[in-house]
Amino acid sequence: MSKIERITGRGLPLRGNDIDTDRIIPARFLRCVTFDGLGEHVFADDRQSGQHPFDLPQYQGAKILVVNANFGCGSSREHAPQAIARWGIQAIVGESFAEIFAGNCLAMGVPCLTAAPEQVQALQRLLENQPSTELTLDLQTLTLRAGDQVIPLTMAESSRQMLISGQWDACGQLLAHRDKIHEVAARLPYVQWAIR
């Protein structure tokens, strides 16, 4: 199981409230069988001018996305967090998130943490003016360090515990407990009946 305790890297500021999942990954890209290749289409319709933050050279390789209020609202499509993660984002800090979007991120091991609106906006300004600023997001202390600033963050304690213990990874949990699963299956008469 993969524990997620700290993420360090540059940040990408994305301004705007109520950015919905259709803007994150337009519906025409939902026909894929796997999520492979979705990263190149993240914010496809917003990126027509080449001036979108996801296109700008100073933000290439960024790991922490910094957003405003109600990010990820709209439909519950899993493709939205998948596209963001496959672009390279490993964590999102914002003013607030749509609940289903945050849950889909958690299922992938992408933490969504909130901070006070004025602190999020100040962080966005910092990243716009000094894009090479290194950020350190610490899930143990629930803080984000940006230069000499330390920003307090919040997230549901149950979600935080899942990330720092590695329990967010459902497949990893199944594999880690394979022997116990086989023991239980061996005791279930209807499983044995199906095998015969």
What string of DSSP letters covers 64-101? EEE--TTBTBSS--THHHHHHHHHT--EEEES-B-HHH
> Do residues 101 and 28 share a domain?
yes
Q: Are 72 and 94 in contact (CB under 8 A)?
A: no
Q: C-alpha 61: how far from its chain's center? A: 15
- Sorting pLDDT into bands at 50, 70 and 90, what band is 77? confident
> Do residues 18 and 32 share a domain?
yes
> Do residues 153 and 122 share a domain?
yes
Least confident of 31-35, 61-65, 94-98, 113-117: 31-35
DSSP string, 124-157: HHHHHH-TT-EEEEETTTTEEEETTEEEE-B--H
> Do residues 81 and 21 share a domain?
yes
**How many folded domains does the chain comprise?**
2
> Do residues 73 and 156 share a domain?
yes
For position 116, which CATH number holds? 3.20.19.10
> Do residues 141 and 117 share a domain?
yes
Classify residue 1: in a domain, yes or no.
Answer: no
pTM: 0.87
DSSP assigned state of 180: H
DSSP assigned state of 20: B
Structure-model confidence comparison of residues 173 and 86, the more confident one: 86
